[in-house]
């Protein structure tokens, strides 16, 4: 990360790529026991949250990521009631999950409570459902937590994780995927943010193989735009037992809540992948 005068710049050296936002001022900075947390007020993207110098979200475009990490999997599952979110400390995914009235309980497990408390202060719109009686915010190691979840007890697992480096690397491992497969019911579904297909194609290929090695019969990547993430092109990867391209189209079309990006046509379109990606994942 480089803050030069009035610009926040995130540099990705491996791809000779940089992304900048013009900022007005820094609103917050702290070193939690786990990571450096910073919040900036930008000129045109609202507030910006960074962790260890990497962009996590902005007011302007976070709705795309949060909607696409939640509604595709929840409308693919026939009747999701018990949901687990690993990570997601900013609570944006939690808010979207709780829009589904059929969901009975959501466990959000993020090791760093400070991320949530900072989000409550600087991104309050993301945290409006934190006190929903169905929400259970747990601040502990999600990997260890998953090891103690009863077998066949969860409908949907959403991994809203950081990049697969450092502490986040184990969230992309066969051992972790096997624990998730064990905790899911036979018709349970798993989704994880899977980075940029343009910049991290090797990761995507590895994820599919590792998810299958961890016990998932089927995997499916879908795509969406995210302009403040490297390359502006992002993906999620689903895992389960059945056809992951089938979803409850009519329920998505007639949903009783508002979304700003997600709709059933977007859902269908997100599953159509470019040729190079189809070939790489074959």
Give the tens place of pLDDT for each residue, 195-219: 999 999 999 999 999 999 999 999 9
pLDDT of residue 166: 56
Mean pLDDT of the chain: 95
Q: How far apart are CA 202 and CA 172, in angstroms?
A: 13
Helical H segments across 125-195, by residue range:
142-147, 174-183
pTM above 0.85, yes or no: yes
**Nearest CA to 246 among 225, 224, 267, 260?**
267
In CATH, which superfamily holds the domain spanning 2-58? Spermidine synthase, tetramerisation domain (2.30.140.10)
> What would the two tokens of residue 155 be?
């409908």
Phi/psi for 249 (5° steps) reads: -60, -50
CA 158 to chain centre: 7
pLDDT of residue 3: 52
Whether the per-residue pLDDT at 165 is higher than 80: the answer is no
Give the mean pLDDT of 99-125. 98
160 is catalytic: yes
- Choose between 182 and 172: higher pLDDT: 182
Q: How far apart are CA 171 and CA 72, in angstroms?
A: 21
pLDDT digits (tens, 9 = 90+) for 259-276: 999 999 999 999 999 999
Q: Is 18 left (phi over 0), alpha (psi -120 to 50) or beta?
A: beta
> What would the two tokens of residue 4 be?
């030069």
pLDDT digits (tens, 9 = 90+) for 7-36: 999 999 999 999 999 999 999 999 999 999
Q: What is the DSSP-derived secondary structure letter of residue 196?
A: -
pLDDT confidence band for 120 (50 / 70 / 90): very high
pLDDT confidence band for 167 (50 / 70 / 90): low
pLDDT digits (tens, 9 = 90+) for 231-246: 999 999 999 999 999 9
**Nearest CA to 72 among 238, 277, 215, 272?**
238
Give the mean pLDDT of 145-156. 96
Whether the per-residue pLDDT at 87 is higher than 60: the answer is yes
pLDDT confidence band for 163 (50 / 70 / 90): low
pLDDT of residue 5: 67
Q: How far apart are CA 27 and CA 40, in angstroms?
A: 5
Given a contact cutoff of 8 angstroms between Cβ atoms, the answer to whether 225 and 65 are in contact is no
pLDDT digits (tens, 9 = 90+) for 51-79: 999 999 999 999 999 999 999 999 999 99
**Nearest CA to 54 among 36, 66, 41, 80?**
36
> What would the two tokens of residue 237 be?
């990867």
pLDDT of residue 244: 98
pLDDT of residue 127: 98
Q: What is the DSSP-derived secondary structure letter of residue 150?
A: P
Q: Which of 110, 112, 155, 160 is catalytic?
A: 160
Any idea where the domains of the chain sit in the sequence? 2-58, 62-281
For the sheet containing 233-240, what is the strand order?
Answer: 135-138, 105-109, 82-87, 154-160, 184-193, 233-240, 218-225
pLDDT of residue 268: 98
Q: How far apart are CA 265 and CA 52, in angstroms?
A: 36
pLDDT of residue 164: 62
Q: Which fold has domain 62-281?
A: Rossmann fold (3.40.50)
Whether the per-residue pLDDT at 103 is higher than 90: the answer is yes
Give the mean pLDDT of 122-151. 96
| CB-neighbour burial class of residue 118 (10 A; exposed 0-12, middle 13-18, buried 19+) | buried
């Amino acid at each position: 990360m480089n803050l030069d005068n009035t610009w926040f710049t995130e540099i990705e050296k491996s791809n000779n790529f940089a992304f900048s936002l013009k900022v007005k001022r820094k609103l917050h900075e702290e070193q939690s026991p786990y990571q450096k947390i910073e919040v900036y007020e930008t000129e045109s993207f609202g507030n910006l949250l960074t962790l260890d110098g990497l962009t996590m979200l902005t007011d302007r475009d976070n709705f795309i990521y949060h909607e696409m990490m939640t509604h595709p999997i929840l409308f693919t599952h026939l009747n999701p009631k018990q949901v687990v979110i690993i990570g997601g400390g900013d609570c944006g995914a939690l808010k979207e999950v709780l829009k589904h009235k059929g969901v009975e309980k959501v466990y959000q497990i993020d090791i760093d409570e400070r991320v949530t408390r900072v989000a409550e202060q600087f991104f309050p719109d993301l945290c409006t459902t934190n006190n929903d009686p169905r929400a259970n915010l747990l601040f502990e190691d999600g990997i260890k937590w998953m090891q103690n979840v009863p077998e066949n007890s969860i409908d949907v697992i959403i991994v809203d994780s950081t990049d697969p480096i450092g502490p986040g690397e184990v969230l992309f491992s066969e051992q972790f995927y096997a624990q998730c497969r064990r905790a899911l019911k036979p018709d349970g579904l798993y989704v994880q943010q899977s980075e940029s297909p343009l910049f991290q194609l090797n990761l995507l290929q590895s994820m599919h193989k590792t998810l299958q090695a961890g016990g998932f019969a089927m995997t499916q990547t879908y795509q969406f735009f995210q302009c403040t993430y490297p390359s502006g092109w992002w993906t999620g990867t689903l895992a389960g037992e059945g056809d992951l391209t089938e979803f409850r189209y009519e329920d998505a079309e007639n949903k009783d809540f508002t979304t700003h990006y997600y709709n059933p046509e977007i859902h269908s379109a997100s599953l159509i992948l470019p040729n190079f990606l189809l070939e790489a994942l074959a």
